[in-house]
Homo-oligomer: A and B are copies of this chain.
Amino acid sequence: MVVPAKPSGASPVVLVTGFDPFGGQRVNPSWQAVQALHDSRIAGHRVVGAELPTVFVKCLQAMRGLLRQHRPTLVICTGQAGGRTAISLERVAINVDDARIADNAGAQPVDRAVVPQGPAAYFTGLPIKAMLQAMLDAGINAEVSQTAGTFVCNHLFFGLMHRIATRPVAAGLRGGFIHIPYLPEQAARFPGVPSMSLATMVEALRIAVACALAVEKDIAETGGQLH
């Protein structure tokens, strides 16, 4: 793989991705929030926002292209977690696709490995406990999550971590995944379904990026689940 030289003097890049809408939704809050951060600057870094297709395999191909193109020092992928109440900092990606619904290309794999012969799981490369504290301190609903599911989000997360572990495009590259609740307009007609305002989501992602850039080694703070 030939990586074109980055123009000398350019700012280091943080890559933040969202997904396109799926499952009958007209918007995907992850891309709405990422779009709002695109081209902003955080702690001397330029944020590149990108929208990925909610399609197994293809989203990972797009991710690899983005890694080659932008050679980021940090990658934060995001996706919609309809029904959750809080920004979910994902702890672990597992090596399985098991789709309850078809992806946007009609594929619905069951119990298939993301990476055959790959390990069972990867832990996130993000300082999720420090990010959790920073979000809570800002009054934002946030939690550590022990599962990113088994759909396209987990597929991307596992594929990204496998890429970082096996073919790092840049020294010290770190990455991870964050799940985001519905927007109010997605939940409006479904009483009992929680949501979060776009402004809060954008602020949460800004905090996530700033925190990941500032914190090298994560803090030890409780964030587990009894089951």
Contact = CB atoms under 8 A, between A and B. Distances in A.
Interface of A: 23, 79-82, 84-86, 88, 91-92, 94, 96-101, 108, 110-111, 119-123, 129, 135-136, 139-144, 146-151, 153-154, 179, 183-185, 187-189, 191-197, 199-200, 218, 220-227
Given A222-B110, A224-B98, A191 B81 contact: no
| Copies of this chain, tallied across the complex | 4
30 contacts: A80-B227, A81-B227, A82-B226, A82-B227, A85-B187, A85-B192, A85-B195, A86-B187, A86-B188, A86-B192, A97-B224, A99-B222, A100-B225, A100-B226, A101-B226, A111-B129, A111-B220, A111-B223, A120-B121, A120-B122, A121-B121, A141-B184, A141-B191, A142-B188, A143-B192, A146-B150, A147-B227, A149-B226, A194-B195, A197-B197
A195 B195 CA distance: 7
A181 to B, nearest CB: 9
Contact of A197 (B23, B98, B149, B199): B199
